[in-house]
């Protein structure tokens, strides 16, 4: 589970970077996920960063799981 949380951190940071760089052509899906190049997608980037942060918290809980 700790590895999964680590993978999620990396994925969400990449998604946040893509939302900031917004490199793709506008479309329904690319606009919805915040990657379309019609405008910067700050809300999407913040949402992805928050999810990355929560994944880090999950790692923290996993690290101490089982300790008394």
Partner 1 sequence: MTFAQALFLAVLQGVSELFPISSLGHTILIPALLRWSVDRSSESFLAFVVVLHLGTALALLVFYRREWIAIGGALVASVVRGRLSDARYEKIGWLLVAGTIPVGLLGVFFESSVRSLFGSPIPAASFLVLNAFVMFFGEWLRNRQFADSARQSRPIEAISYADAVKVGLAQGLALLPGISRSGSSIVAGLLVDLDHEAAAKYSFLLATPVILAASVLEIPKLFEPAAHVVAAQAVTGGILAGLTAYASVAFLTRYFEHNDLRPFGWYCLLAGGAALILFTTKVIS
String marking each residue 3-42 x if it binds partner 1 according to CB under 8 A: -------------------------x--xxxx-------x
CB of 45 to partner 1, least distance (A): 10
What DSSP character marks residue 39? Answer: S
Q: How far, in whole angstroms, is CA 68 from its chain's centroid?
A: 32
The residue within the footprint of partner 1, chosen from 4, 10, 21, 54 (CB under 8 A), is 54
Cβ neighbors of 1 (< 8 A, separation 6 or more) are: 58, 62
Q: Report the alpha-carbon distance of residue 12 to residue 46 in Å, rounded.
A: 10
Binding site for partner 1 (CB under 8 A): 28, 31-34, 42-44, 46-47, 50-51, 54, 57, 60-61, 63-65, 67
């Amino acid at each position: 589970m700790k590895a999964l949380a680590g993978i999620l951190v990396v994925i969400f940071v990449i998604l946040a970077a893509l939302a900031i760089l917004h490199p793709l052509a506008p479309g329904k899906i690319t606009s919805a996920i915040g990657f379309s190049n019609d405008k910067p997608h700050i809300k999407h980037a913040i949402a992805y960063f928050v999810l990355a942060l929560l994944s880090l918290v999950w790692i923290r809980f996993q690290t101490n799981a089982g300790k008394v």
